[in-house]
Amino acid sequence: MALILLTNDDGYDAAGLQSLYRELRKEHDVFVVAPATQQSGASHSLTLRKPIRVEKLHDKFYIVGGTPTDCVLLAYHDLIDMKIDLVVSGINHGPNMGSDVFYSGTVAAALQGASMGIKSLAVSIAADASCDFANAVKYSRDLINRIIASDRSDLILNVNIPAGKIKGEKMTRMGKRIYKDKVIRDSEKKNVIYSIIDGVLSYRADTDTDFKAIDRQYVSVTPLKLDLTDYEVMKSLEDYIRDKSK
């Protein structure tokens, strides 16, 4: 039995989290520390210098008036006084593929767990909240048990599950998300502007990408890392930025 911290960005009452929670409790010690309200797009934001409301709904189940990152930080530093074996964020309503990972609160929670030395997993399904989560939950439980059994302590996995039948599992790289953003001016009165950010999402399903796997009804498993340094470019730029006076 492992101690699992379960969180998300859709809120504590989201169907994806609740479905996974019920399944994981059958064989693991599960603490839920999840946002009180929808936090999609919160990315890795956190609340600083003001109180965060935390409500204990019942044993080992907390509702947080903050972001997914807040949830992981509060769980680790205050709410759970035992070693956390795995952080699981999800199951998110809708996929998190390609550069979505930079905006996703679901992925951010996993990255926060990994930054504290905990194996972490972000799980999303390529469907909305009205879908049948049965296959996604079954697959997630199996993957979680494999991760817990692994000797590696540095795992950060971004997992996307197709809706409906699952043909198998693919190790993938981040694909190319295409954003066609637009800003809609809603109203303006006395120099105050209200605008809505909207747009259309598309993607390029190149070989070995998360998008390609989902298109073919395979689970996409993408290993992530915390270090965003572009080492190849760093080497090529060295001659341009070196201090010539030395």
- Give per-residue pLDDT as tens, 101-141: 999 999 999 999 999 999 999 999 999 999 999 999 999 99
Query: 182 and 125 in contact (C-beta within 8 Å)?
Result: no
Question: Known binder of ligand: residue 92?
Answer: yes
Angle 181-185-187 from CA coordinates, rounded to 5°: 155
- Give per-residue pLDDT as tens, 1-45: 999 999 999 999 999 999 999 999 999 999 999 999 999 989 999
Q: Which domain holds residue 107?
A: 3-173+205-241
Residue 53 confidence (pLDDT)? 97
Question: Known binder of ligand: residue 10?
Answer: yes
Does residue 209 sit in helix, strand or coil? strand
The count of structural domains within the chain is 1
Residue 26 confidence (pLDDT)? 97
Across the chain, what does the average pLDDT equal?
92
Residue 178 confidence (pLDDT)? 72
Q: Which long-range contacts (CB under 8 A, 24 or more apart) does 147-150 make?
A: 147/86, 147/119, 147/121, 148/2, 148/85, 148/86, 148/119, 150/119
Residue 184 lies in a domain: no
Residue 194 lies in a domain: no
What CATH code is carried by the domain that includes residue 8? 3.40.1210.10
pLDDT band for position 243 (50/70/90)? low
The answer to whether the peptide bond before residue 91 is cis (omega within 30 degrees of 0) is: yes
- Amino acid identity at 70: D
Residue 186 lies in a domain: no
Residue 188 lies in a domain: no
